[in-house]
Amino acid sequence: MEWDFMNKILNSVLLAALLCSFAGFVKAEEEDTISQVTEEFIDAVDHSDFNLADEKLANGADINGANKGWTALDGGAFSGKLDAVKYLIDRNADIESGHSSDCQTPLSYAAEEGALEVVKHLVKAGACIESHKYGKTPLSYAAEKGKLEVVKYLVEAGAYIESGASDDKTPLDFAAEAGELEVVKYLVEAGAYIGSGDSDDYQTPRDLAVEENHQLVVDYFDSLTFLQRRFYKTRAVVKRHKILLASLSTAAVLAGGLRWWYARQHGVSFIPKFNWFGKQRISAMPKVTGPVIASTNVLPKFI
């Protein structure tokens, strides 16, 4: 009796285990099928076969799915394939996807590879221009690889020129360390901080260039005068705040116009007269004719 009871329990446990295994197998097979469809979708986009890509999406492919850490948008941006990037963005692909091991975004990949048109399209589509992993922005990737046109575009688009990575390296640091002279020149003239060299713990861009034996970059830093550095910095500040300065100029013009209207209406001078000394403005030292003393309370009489 007891043996029959134990046998029933064992059979029930075995049956439950088989059912669980079968359910897991079905689920795994389903996941493998979806992964396969997504992989085929990524491959179709990579080959610019967008009709096939649409079919794969209809069959359940994940537009943001990753194959070995790469999404379709990552691959399109890295390869500089503008048509693929447009196709994916038009179908609402995640523009900030960062599934790769270093978590770079599509914009970072495009900037690193110098794919200027792709960079422009991603930025216009709303990609975060400061997106980064460990502080390394698209501008830093482009600067390190010497992609001057991309660097120029990102700076003009408002990328922060002093953005630092986890090791405090700025785009100028990356460019100097890589020996990218033209990028170094552009960033310096755009107002990038070249360092004071006063701290033993801080390596300036010049120090990094010295370590990597980039003599042309070192010579360039050595050729910069104090006045040049101040001029570049001031010009960059003015350019960065040109909207504010334009607003102030507009306000000044409007104020001048109002003053001109007021002067015309009231018959007064366009240039207001300010009385700095109270009601009676003293324009010059008065001429004294000599005191006429009638009593102790009479003061000298002035003309």
pLDDT at residue 47, rounded to an integer: 95
pLDDT at residue 29, rounded to an integer: 40
Helices 50-58 & 82-90 angle (0-180, nearest 10): 30
pLDDT at residue 66, rounded to an integer: 87
pLDDT at residue 67, rounded to an integer: 85
Token pair belonging to 249:
């100029």
Return d(Cα 178, Cα 202) in angstroms, integer.
18
User: For residue range 51-101, what is the model confidence (pLDDT) as tens digits?
Assistant: 999 999 999 999 999 888 889 999 999 999 999 999 999 999 999 876 555
pLDDT at residue 240, rounded to an integer: 56
Is the pTM for the entire model greater than 0.85?
Answer: no
Q: Could you give phi then psi for residue 159, rounded to 5 degrees?
A: -60, 140
For residue 137, the tally of other CB atoms under 10 A from its CB is 28
Token pair belonging to 209:
């260039």
- Residues (pLDDT < 50) of the chain are 1, 3, 5-6, 10, 13, 15-34, 198, 280-289, 292-296, 298, 302-303
Contacts of 286 (CB under 8 A, 6+ apart): 302, 303
pLDDT at residue 220, rounded to an integer: 96
pLDDT at residue 100, rounded to an integer: 55
Ordered DSSP codes for 5-60: HHHHHHHHHHHHHHHHHHHHHHHHHHHHHHHHHHHHHHHHHHTT-HHHHHHHHHTT
CATH number of 160-243, picked from 3.90.1310.10, 3.30.470.10, 1.25.40.20, 3.40.50.2300: 1.25.40.20
